[in-house]
Structure formats: structure tokens, C-alpha cells
Amino acid sequence: MCLSQHFWQFLVPGITLGCLYALIAIGYTLVYGVLQLINFAHSEIFMTGGFAGLFMVQALTNVGVVPSGAQSWLIMFAGISCGALFGGIVAFLLERVAYRPLRRRNAPRLIYLITAIGASLFLFNLAGKLFGRDKVNIPAIYTNGVVFTVFGAQVRVQQLIIVCTAVFMMLMLDLLVNRTKLGSGIRAVAQDSQTASLMGVNINRVISQTFVIGGVLGGAAGFLFGTYLNVHYQMGFLPGIKAFAAAVLGGIGNIRGAMIGGLLLGIVESLSQSCMSSQWIDVVAFVVLILVLMFRPTGILGQRLGRAA
Amino acid sequence: MHRKQILVAAAPVLIGTLALSSCSSSKSSSGASSGGGGKPTYTIGFQGPLTGPNAQLGINIDNAVKLAVQQANASGQLPFTLKVAEADDQGDPAKGPTAAQQLIGDSSVVGVVGPTFSGATKAAEPLFTQAGLASVSASATNSSLTDPGNGFKTFFRIVPPDSAQGTSAADYMAKVLKAKSVYLIDDKSDYGVGLCGNIKSQLGADGVAVTSDSVAAGTNDYSAVATKVANSGTQAAYYCGYYADAAPLAKALKNTSYAGKTLSDDGTNDPKFISLAGPASESWQFTCPCLSAAAATDATTQKFVSDYTASAKQPPGTYSPEGYDVANTLIAVMKPLGTNVTRAAVVNGLRSVDYKGLTKEIKFQPNGEVTEKGIYVYAVQNGKITELGTVDTLISKG
């Protein structure tokens, strides 16, 4: 009963949030696909994107003036690109500095995980030191009016921008992975890295590029998330964990799985709110994860980047 | 989850090292050390968040304490020299005891302003009681802190408890805003849950329909909560928590069709809320047991505002006047003690003090509660926090 009442009002923010989770989840899944590594520092790439976009927007807007029309589009585009760019750069550096030396030494799996946690701690504390530990508001870029109404639920500019950007980026990624040479490289490394290298695939370059792609998506998501809420040095923590759960939910290592997992998690989180107290919001996400894993241990779409995607 | 585990593992080590370091530092400055002019030096401690997401509330008080001490030293009338020692607890209950231990370990500290947040106060107060060190909070308002059962023998505060704020806030919504239904959201902190509980019981007495919800502070999405508020068709929504989370809630509410009143408490009543929530902060109202220095018209308070702004390089914020009053109360207690200021003497002095501060006349009941109460209402108008008056006067006006 509680579900049917105001179903659409809860579905709209759920889809918005789900798209953001999906964008972040792709970063986890891509890296897992090629390296079998849970890159816990990915949540900090997300945070970097938030701050980079924030500074870009701060530089482009005047205090107290809300831009409109073409200016809004331009600033929004600049913010997203800046978030994506810096997300990509940090992901690239992370791979170079933290993971590549380990790979060269053939370090055991556990060392990668500890390194990932260390890198995460380092990055968010560095951001806290550099940018302050207070939350920061991204100045308004557009007037957040109602665009249209579906079954009584208002859809606003912000939600539309987040969903459209996310869907566009996911479509592009899907094309990239399935249709381009780089994509077949990524799939080859994910399937069998040794054979791929025998076939002439430059593994180091592919891994680097995979990190950058994940970083670009994560950074853009960071900025979008920042406009939705606030930017903060620890903003990556909770969305990062949720997105990781989403990646596992969809089948870790599977790109389309991450998209579906993220979307599903966002929607379930939002819809469940109509039936129970908000303090259960984080519980619901993980209960869904556990339930799915009980019946499908490899996630909804199953693992393996190479085969399913 | 991985991060939490590391923190848990690191905490005992950290506390151990801090305790050790504070022990060693206390040895070097045993007792009241002599100042430059042959006068002894005493220290007033401050405990509260100086870093972390809610740091502004701590900084507001810290700056006021520094100003009071600086003015007292400059007056030349003190038989001793005063210093300030800061202990940063980030407003986190888990860090409260460590911060308290830092101050306790420094034997020149004879009185403490703080702790700032209720949760941290609850965690730190057993240590202060054990050390016999007076802690006078300018902002910790959780009602249970002054329960005799707690045994917090050296705790005082100059702000009325949440129970007083809760009752007034409920009456304000029922009688001034004339709301028939109210949606209460707490942040699951000691402070938020306590306050919302008090509001709820008084609203029940006033015959107002109440819906309660709680969202843990630091949650990553408020859109679902905002949708619930909008769908409930409530006439007023009250958030019990701090500005760091009230701001994203305000933004999320702005994204819904919600048209009722929005209110929050003293934890949100800060210009930072406006800068975080942007235009979404407009027309939010706050109840607060605090006096807004910026809105005051009397000469003493205006002088305080200009002195504070000059020394802190920012205008006074929420609880700055209260922090100033607490520091001056401590100084007023210490002054007659001359060069024999001890922790025990300060505690005794506080029991009988009668000091006319900026915000109120400061006299304590035996349980450490201040005698004078008064809950003010503020509203965000054109991007500025404006005082509307005390709840009692607003109710009598109708």
C-alpha cells in the first residue's frame, strides 16, 4: 500500500541517485575487470571531481547571480568536464604511483587492497588539508524549476541534467568498450591478460586507460553529486561504498551489471523510504545486496567483463 | 566499512600516545607557572570542534573566549595572567574524552569553557568530574546532562536545556505558526533525538498531529526524506540537528513541491547554513536559546560585536556571546581568589556566582543549570539571519 501511494514521487529521486551510483560503480567494475582489484580509492576520485568542478564553477560565476540560458549550459558543461578531467588525472596518477610498482613486483593481492585503503586515506586527508574540512556549496548554476510532471511527480532541471548526463556517458562507454580497439583491448586483458599480452596488447597501457575511463566517469559523477548536495572532503565515503555494493550487485567486473546495479540500488533506496523510517536508508541498500548474493552469488548479470559486456 | 575498522584499530594507540604526551607536558608546567611580571599564570581551557564538518560552532565560542581573556589581561586588574588552551574534539563523542584529558593533564588549567556539543560533553564529563575541573558549556543543551543520576558534579551551562527549547519550539509552531500538523526529523545524535523528543511531547499536549522520522547525520541523500515530508501534506517541518545536514535537507526540500514552514534549532542557526544551502535557506526559521549579537541594539553588545570582529576577523556567530559570557564568568570567579586559584575554588565560586553577562544574568542552580531562560526565534530573510523575538513575546502578540 505504502509503495503504490506516491510511487512516482519516490521513483524520480531514486532514478537520479541510481544514475550517480551507476557512474561511480562503473569505476569499480572496470578496474576489477582488468586487475581483479577493489580500488577503494575510487571514492576519492569522485571527491576530487566534486572539488575540481566546484572551483571551475566558482571561477565562472559571480557571487549572488544565478546564470541563465546559454551561460548556464556552458558553466554546467565546464563543471562536468573539469570534474571528469581531474577525476581522470587523479585516477591515472593513482595507478602510476600506487598500483604499477606493486604489479612490477608481483605483489600478493592483499597488498593491493591495503594500498588502495592507504591511497584513499591519503587522498581525502590531503583534500581536507588543502580545501578545508567544511562542507562547501556549489553556487547555483541554473534556476532549478520544474520541467514536467509524471503522474504527479515533479521532475526538475537538476534531476534531468543528472540523468541525461549519466545516460549519455554510459552509452558512450558501452560503445567504447564494445566497438573500439581500446575496448577490445580492455576486454582482452579482462578475459586473460597473459594471452592478451602474447597477442600484442600492451597491458600496462590498457590498465592505465581503464583507470582513466573509470576516473572520468567518477569525477563527472562527483561534480553532479556536488551540485545535488554539497562538496566535502569525505563526500566520497558513503556513495563510494554504495556504488561498490551496486557493482557487486550487478556482478563485479561487468559494466552493464554496474549500471543496472547502481540504478536498482538508487531506486530501492528511495522507494523503501515510502514504507519505513529514513534511518533504515543505508540498511536497505545492503539487505538488497545480501539477498541478491544469496540467490545469485555472482550478481545479477554475473561476473566477467570480457564475456558479458 | 574498511575505514572504520582502521579507525577502531588506531584509536587505542592514538589515545595512548595522547595520554602519554599530556602527562609529560603537565610535568613541565606543574602548578601555576610564573608569568613575566611575577604574576602567576592560569589557563582557561576550551573544548569543542575546531576542525570537522561542524567546526564553525566551536570556532564561534573559541574566538569569544580568546577575546575575553585578551581583554581581561589588557585591563591590568587581574592578580594573575590568563592563557587559553584549546582542545579540539571535532564535536565527536568518541574524541571527547581525549580532548578533555588534554586539558585535565595541563595542571595550569583551572576552568574549562565547553564542551561544545552534547554528545562530546556526555563522553567527557566523567573525566572532568573525576579531576574536579569545572566545565561550563556555552552550548551543550541536551536535557539529560544535568540529571543528578549522571554524577556530573563539575558541569555547568549558561544555556537552557533542550527541554526548554523543545517546549518553546512546540508552542511556537502550535500557537504562532498555528500548524495543525508537524513533521519532526532528528539526526540520531544525542542532541537531535533529545530535542525532537521534547518537541513531540509538547506538540502532543498542544493537540498537534506529529509525524516523526530520523536520518543519521552524514547521510548521502536527503531527496527521499524530502519527498516524504512533501507527501505528508504537513504544515511545518522541524529538523533537530546541525547545519551541516540541515543544509542538504533544505536543498532537497526546495526540490519538492513542499510549501509548508521549515524550522530548525540552535545547531542550524548559523550563517554557514545560508552559505551551504544557498537560496534554499530562505525563510527557514530557528529556535535558539541564544542571543544573536548581530541583531542586538544595546551599546555593550555592539561593542562586543566590533571587538570580536576586529580580533577574530569574522563577525560573531551563534553562541559567540554565550562563549564570551562563560569566559567572563570564569574570570569573575577567579579574580577574587587572587593568586590562590585552584580547580576546587573555581567550582565552589561558580556555585555562588552572580554575573551580569551580555546574554543574561548568570546564576546557577545546584544542578548546574542557569536560572534565567529565554528562547529566541530567528528567521532567514533576504539571505540574513534576523531575530523575530523570544517565543514568549511572540505568543503573547498572537
ipTM of the complex as predicted: 0.81
Mark which residues 171-210 of B lie under 8 Å from A by CB: 185, 188
B232–chain A Cβ distance below 8 A for any pair: no
Q: For residues A35 and A38, what is the distance between their CA atoms, to the nearest angstrom?
A: 9
Residue whose grid cell is 569525477: A219
The pLDDT value recorded for residue B17 is 44
Is B228 in contact with A274 (Cβ distance < 8 A)? yes
Chain A residue with the nearest C-alpha to that of B6: A117
Conformational region of residue B161, where left means phi above 0, alpha means psi within -120 to 50, and beta covers everything else: beta
Q: 3-state DSSP call for residue B387?
A: strand
Give the ranges where A95-202 is alpha helix by DSSP (H).
100-104, 109-131, 157-179, 181-191, 193-198
Determine the distance in angstroms separating the CA of A277 from the nearest CA of chain B, rounded to an integer.
6
Q: Do you know the residue count of chain B?
A: 398
The pLDDT-based confidence of A284 (bands split at 50, 70, 90) is confident
Q: Which residue did the predictor score with more confidence, B191 or A115?
A: A115
Chain B residue nearest residue A125, CA to CA: B52
Nearest to A156 among B214, B227, B255 (CB): B255
Interface test with B, best of A278, A284, A286 (most B CBs within 10 A): A278
A229·B248 Cβ contact <8 A: yes
Write down the pLDDT at residue B168: 93
Q: Is B152 exposed, middle or buried (0-12, 13-18, 19+ CB in 10 A)?
A: buried
In the predicted model, residues of chain B with pLDDT beneath 50 are 1-31, 35
pLDDT value for B162: 85
Between CA B56 and CA B63, with CA B62 as vertex, the angle to 5 degrees is 90
Helix (H) or strand (E) holding B260: none
Which residues on B lie below 8 Å from A38 (Cβ)?
none
Name A184's Cβ contacts closer than 8 Å, sequence gap at least 6. none
Domain borders along chain A are 22-236
Q: Which pLDDT value is given to residue B37?
A: 57
Cell of B45: 581551557
- Which pLDDT does position A1 carry in this prediction? 57
Mean per-residue pLDDT of chain A: 89
C-alpha A293/C-alpha A226 separation (Å) is 31
Question: Which range, of A85-89, A130-134, A223-227, B340-344, averages the lowest pLDDT?
Answer: A130-134
Note the pLDDT tens digit of each residue in A26-67.
999 999 988 888 899 999 999 999 999 999 999 998 877 788
DSSP state of A309: -
Could you tell me which residues of chain A have a Cβ less than 8 Å from any Cβ in chain B? Answer: 5-6, 9-10, 13-14, 16-17, 40, 66, 117, 120-121, 133-137, 139-140, 144, 154, 156, 158-159, 228-230, 232, 235, 237-239, 241-242, 269-270, 273-274, 277-279, 281-282
Separation of first and last alpha carbons in chain A = 37
Residues of B in contact with A273 (CB under 8 A): 224-225, 227-228
Nearest to B81 by CA among B90, B93, B69, B89: B69
Q: How many CA atoms within 13 Å lie on the side-chain side of A109? A: 5
Biggest alpha carbon–alpha carbon distance for chain A: 59
- What sign results for the dihedral spanned by CA atoms A55, A59, A65, A68? negative
Find which of A93-107, A140-154, A279-293 is predicted with most confidence, using mean pLDDT.
A93-107
Q: Which domains does chain B have, with CATH numbers?
A: 2-159+298-362 (3.40.50.2300), 162-288+375-397 (3.40.50.2300)
Contact state of B228 with A154 under an 8 Å Cβ cutoff:
no
CA dihedral (B177, B183, B188, B192) in degrees, to 10, reads 10
Distance CA B65, CA B83 (A): 10
**From the CA of B225, how many Å to the nearest CA of chain A?**
7
Task: Please choose, from the candidates A162, A169, A301, the residue with its C-alpha nearest in 3D space to the C-alpha of residue A229.
Answer: A162
Instruction: Please answer yes or no on whether B278 and A278 come within 8 Å at the CB atom.
Output: no
Per the CB < 8 Å rule, is B254 touching A144?
A: yes
Secondary structure, 3-state, B127-194: HHHHHCCEEEECCCCCHHHHCHHHCCCCEEECCCCHHHHHHHHHHHHHHHCCCCEEEEEECCCHHHHH
User: Coil, helix or strand for A200?
Assistant: coil
* Facing residue for A273 by CB, picked from B53, B225, B278: B225
Q: With CA atoms as reference, report the closest residue to A243 among A27, A98, A33.
A: A27
Residues 343-372 of B with CB under 8 A from A: none
Q: How far is B228 from chain A (nearest CA, A)?
A: 7
B223:A13 CB<8 A: yes
Angle CA A57–A61–A63, to nearest 5? 120
**Which of A9, A121, A237 lies closest to B231 in CB terms?**
A9
Burial environment of residue B15 by CB neighbours within 10 A (0 to 12, 13 to 18, 19 or more): middle
Handedness of CA A78, A81, A84, A90 (dihedral sign): negative
Q: Is B247 touching A (CB cutoff 8 A)?
A: yes
pLDDT for B205-243, tens place per residue? 999 999 999 998 888 789 889 999 998 999 999 999 999
| CA–CA min distance A9, chain B (Å) | 7
State the count of interchain CB pairs (< 8 A) between A and B. Answer: 108
Residue A304: band (very low, low, confident or very high) from pLDDT cuts 50, 70, 90: low
User: Phi and psi dihedrals of A15, rounded to 5?
Assistant: -65, -40
